[in-house]
Amino acid sequence: MAGITLTQAQQVLDALIAAQISGAVEGGAMSSVSVGGRTVSFRSMQELIEAITFWQSMVSNLQRAAAGESRTGLRLARFGRIS
């Protein structure tokens, strides 16, 4: 998602986890979480878990980017030239 910040992603993730803890999904009724102009909707506990997994990944990717790491978390070794 272009233009989303780490703080925003963490807020959405926190709201989704709070929805899971509170049992927001009942009887197949549509539920949603809105944070900072972004809305995530879900109909079942499975969809809620999938949304949590997606946003956990988004937060992890943004944390790595903020730390200057690659998307995989791997860094390439740089070796000096041998004279």
What pTM does this model have? 0.71
Q: How far apart are CA 74 and CA 13, in angstroms?
A: 25
Write out the H or E segment, with its range, that includes residue 33: strand 31-35
Helical residues (DSSP H) of the chain, grouped into ranges: 6-22, 45-66
Tell me the two tokens of residue 42: 């879900």
Residues of the chain with pLDDT under 50: 1
How do the domains of the chain map onto residue ranges?
6-66
Residue 70 is predicted with a pLDDT of 67
Q: How far apart are the first and last CA of the chain?
A: 46
Question: pLDDT at position 51, please?
Answer: 92
